[in-house]
Structure 1
Amino acid sequence: MTCKAFFLADGFFAAHGHPSFAPRIRRYRSCIKPATAAIELMMNPAKVLFVWDDKDISNAKLGAPEGGNIGIGGTDFLFGSIPHELGKRQAGKIAVLHQTPSNQLSPWVEDIVVPPGGTILATLKEVAGRFDLIVARPGDQLVQMMDVLPPSARVIAWSHNHSRGPMLKWLGLEPRIAAVVNVGREQMLLTRFSESYAKSTWIDNPVYAPPSGDEAVRTCRAVYMGALVPGKGFLHLAKLWPRIRQAVPQAELDVIGSADLYGAASKSDQQYLQKIHQHLGHDAAKSGVRFHGKLGSEKYAVLHKALVGLPNPTGFTETSCLSALEMSSCGLAIVAPQRWGFCDTVHPQHSGILAPDDETYVRSVVSLLSNPASTQKLGHSGKAWVAHHFSHEKISGEWQTLFQSLLTGRPLRQPEPTQPTGVYPHGFLYRHNVLGPYSQALRDVADKLVGWRLKQ
């Protein structure tokens, strides 16, 4: 019996009081296409190309990233570790396109290096047709990539920074952008009034378990870990530290990082360092502050001696903050501002304290340094929480689910709750779309003003 004859007969019986099978048949038929696509994907894993802009980095050893970040920016490290884990777990046929030959990648991925005299765009044009999905960061380079990609290309915009209104609009309107992947739920919710939100989702950044350390050696120490540049807020901590030190005279602060973590330090970065020393004095050791510079695996010896982790004390620019996760995984209790990426990577009941203002921040650090037993208990809880929620096994599974969703037409994961949870000076603009299409421009201006104030 043909389908047409079946539905005619079914209609006749339904008209005479018999139950119709048509709705059920239509429902089953609607499931056949995605199910068939999923089976096809299992038999032929997704071919995924990560485009890594590594022109400012050299000699990065990412062949076995399980040893932890070797002293480069967190985003750059993830462009090595995520493809490594996906390839190792056979979550797809993974390749990485990049520019610097001295950067060593995992043997589990195809290493595509731009040839001498070539450009990343020209090389992308040559190889793009081999891949089902292309992963790249939003920015000018992604816009330029559209000039060389075919109309059928499907691109995942992996958003490691807070994009502004024009970029969010472009991401939403460009048909080849298949998904915008934020690295945190809060980051995604802050864009909920933008054109890109309908094709947005989030996948947390993972962290590797650190080598074990001797818990008995922890002393009254705090650690800052991150770049010494305006966007990472150490100057703000330098201003608050004397108040902490006054309340806890034996407290010491270890600083892991440098001004050239993301490449050569600029003139403004050098001026920023001068401001830091103005607050701490040129003999920082007298203030209990020790600068270790940029560290690789040596950082774990420093982390395992401390009680409290103090990542970016302004929170500005943070979409996730791998430093917070790394310090939690080493058993440190975290104190961070209650805004931006810390809303996802610091849990008030399990891993640390989210402070809505500077007064609460200082009191929290003082309290944790003054009560080592309870602080270590909180640190142990945070270590377990991070291991459960931010493992590479879990996050690799979420990436694989994303690939399957995009290639089979399934909906992307959406967050609950649907409101940002951070405390912002201009939070009203994040919670309400009062000016319609002009609201995003107002948010951008407010963000810049808040950022300027926090960097001073």
Structure 2
Amino acid sequence: MNQKSGKIKVGFYLRNEGYPNADVRFPELGNPGIGGTQFTTIATAYYLNKFYSDRVEVLILANSTKLLPPSLKTAMAANEVDAAVKSKEAGCDIFVFKSQGNEELFKQLHTLNINAIARSNNTPKVHVLNQLADIPQIKCHLCVGQEQLDSLRDHKIFDKSTRIFNPFNADNFVPKNDIVKTGNTVVFLGSIIPAKGFHFLARVWREILKQKPEARLIVIGTGQVYSRNNKLGKWGVAEENYEANSIRPFLSDENGNVIESVHFAGLLGTEKIEILQKADVGVVNPSGATETFCSGAVEIQACGTPVVSAAKGGLLDTVSHGKTGLLGNSDRELVKNILYLLNNPTIAKEFGKNGIEFVKNKFSYQENAKQWLELLTDICNDKLPRQPPMKSNYFYDAKFLREGMRVLKKTIPPLRSIPSLSEIKALLKGGKGE
């Protein structure tokens, strides 16, 4: 704790070199069209400072410090190693960074002897998890989803892992008046890269049209969500190889142009909100791959629109199946779920209302700031992070087995050498993990 101020001083590293002109001065307005990791880092720091500036001093160390919230203290940092050094120089008690394998950073943390939080918006590969577990300066491995945390129950990283959902302010998303919906509009929201699964929707769109000819698809996002420097293909939608092989074959007319029922809206900031409010169905990452949280699902539900996606990972946290949206595990279920909501507007409307309350209650930015304060305080008091209980879907992802192995390893020391399920999967794949 900072001796002069009596406050906990925390430095957040923000890698924002890919968004030199993104205006994130007002996080309460929502994501202006940048990566979820970057936006939630800013929002976390912003709300922590807003509610607890009397107890916490927040510093953002970023590649670019322009157009950041004016209420926050900022400093330039070329990379996360530079940010760690400057955090120590600035007197920070705790340094927060996105977890990934960076040997130089790990060495620097040891040299600086600064407490650190490794925040996993994406779950690292298992060999990186092993490193995070073994580095004494890393006091907490922070998951952003409960399913993500539960998947680590039998890994040695679990003891210093916890979960804090990403913060979300729904005020600017919830419709102020009754919205008249057309009954035929589907919106996809997300980055147009393979990991975010737009090609799953593209390849079934004509099947949806066969059964619902009046259906219309609006696509919000491009392959530049994570960096404005990425080169796009002929349609200006995604990287050329992905666009040519996984998008255009399914959504082209006889002249090679985008079919009439599809509109690519590009990168949108707050102007996307009206589109999401008027949509009948919102689709996010139908593959479910890489999702530890899925901010897009939260944004859509906050707008009063039901979500359709995959019954996997973070989407099991951010969508309530059968209440705020529908989750499935195949192309057939993707088509079925979209058509069901388009053809049953009364149910879709009820899902939309449920979604607004679900988001407000589960992803409150006030609760997020409170949990961050508790975590920072625990670290300064040399306590292990508090852990929420395991979710009750025990058979998903062999969760019951992971928990059983955790208990056995804890009570029978010789068993601790048994690899976790994640490590076993990595070994079977012949690599270091997914």
TM-score, length of structure 1 as denominator length: 0.81
Residue 270 (1) aligns with residue 240 (2): yes
CA shift, 1:222, in A, is 1.3
Aligned residues: 405
Cα distance in 2, alignment partners of residues 394 and 223 from structure 1: 29
Residue 392 (1) aligns with residue 365 (2): yes
Deviations 1:385-434 (A, max 9, x none): 1011112111111111111121224442323336766856x989968869
Counterpart AA for 1:105: L
Corresponding position of 1:341: 314
CA shift, 1:440, in A, is 3.0
Q: Retained in 2: the 8 A contact 1:429–1:443? A: no
Residue 74 (1) aligns with residue 39 (2): no
Counterpart AA for 2:167: P
Corresponding position of 1:182: 143
Q: Retained in 1: the 8 A contact 2:154–2:403? A: no
Corresponding position of 2:381: 408
Corresponding position of 2:425: 443
Residue 257 (1) aligns with residue 221 (2): yes
Cα distance in 2, alignment partners of residues 191 and 198 from structure 1: 9
Corresponding position of 1:138: 99
Q: Retained in 1: the 8 A contact 2:117–2:138? A: yes
Cα distance in 2, alignment partners of residues 123 and 401 from structure 1: 24
More helix by share: 1
Cα distance in 2, alignment partners of residues 353 and 69 from structure 1: 24
Q: 1:157 aligns with which of 118, 122, 128?
A: 118
Corresponding position of 1:354: 327
CA shift, 1:151, in A, is 5.3
Cα distance in 2, alignment partners of residues 301 and 448 from structure 1: 47
Residue 284 (1) aligns with residue 245 (2): no
Counterpart AA for 1:139: Q
Cα distance in 2, alignment partners of residues 364 and 448 from structure 1: 36
Q: Secondary structure at the match of 2:40?
A: helix
> Gaps (5+ residues) in structure 1?
1-36
Corresponding position of 2:13: 51
Corresponding position of 1:23: none
Counterpart AA for 1:181: L
Superposed, 1:96-115 pairs within 5 Å as: 96-101=60-65, 103-114=66-77
Corresponding position of 1:33: none
Corresponding position of 2:235: none
Q: Which of 1 and 2 has greater Rg?
A: 1
CA shift, 1:375, in A, is 0.4
Q: Secondary structure at the match of 1:181?
A: strand
Identical aligned residues as a percent? 28
Cα distance in 2, alignment partners of residues 358 and 330 from structure 1: 26
Corresponding position of 1:32: none
Superposed, 1:4-403 pairs within 5 Å as: 44-91=6-53, 92-101=56-65, 103-114=66-77, 121-122=81-82, 124-129=84-89, 130-141=91-102, 143-149=103-109, 150=111, 152-209=113-170, 210-211=172-173, 212=175, 214-219=177-182, 220-263=184-227, 264-265=229-230, 269-274=239-244, 275-281=246-252, 282-286=256-260, 288-403=261-376
Counterpart AA for 1:298: E
Counterpart AA for 1:109: L
Q: Tell me: CA distance 1:445–1:59, structure 2 relative to 1, closer, same or farther (3 Å).
A: farther
Q: Tell me: CA distance 1:354–1:273, structure 2 relative to 1, closer, same or farther (3 Å).
A: same
Q: Retained in 1: the 8 A contact 2:80–2:105? A: no
Cα distance in 2, alignment partners of residues 411 and 422 from structure 1: 28
Q: Tell me: CA distance 1:446–1:305, structure 2 relative to 1, closer, same or farther (3 Å).
A: farther
Q: Secondary structure at the match of 1:147?
A: helix
Q: After alignment, is 337-346 or 88-97 more displaced?
A: 88-97
CA shift, 1:65, in A, is 1.2
Cα distance in 1, alignment partners of residues 83 and 387 from structure 2: 34
Q: Retained in 2: the 8 A contact 1:61–1:70? A: yes
Q: Quote the RMSD (CA, aligned, Å).
A: 2.9
Higher relative contact order (CA 8 A, sep 6+): 2
Cα distance in 1, alignment partners of residues 114 and 201 from structure 2: 45
CA shift, 1:198, in A, is 0.8
Q: Secondary structure at the match of 1:146?
A: helix
Q: Retained in 2: the 8 A contact 1:420–1:431? A: no
Q: Secondary structure at the match of 1:155?
A: strand
CA shift, 1:354, in A, is 2.1
Q: Retained in 1: the 8 A contact 2:188–2:282? A: yes
Q: Retained in 2: the 8 A contact 1:69–1:296? A: yes
Cα distance in 2, alignment partners of residues 376 and 68 from structure 1: 23
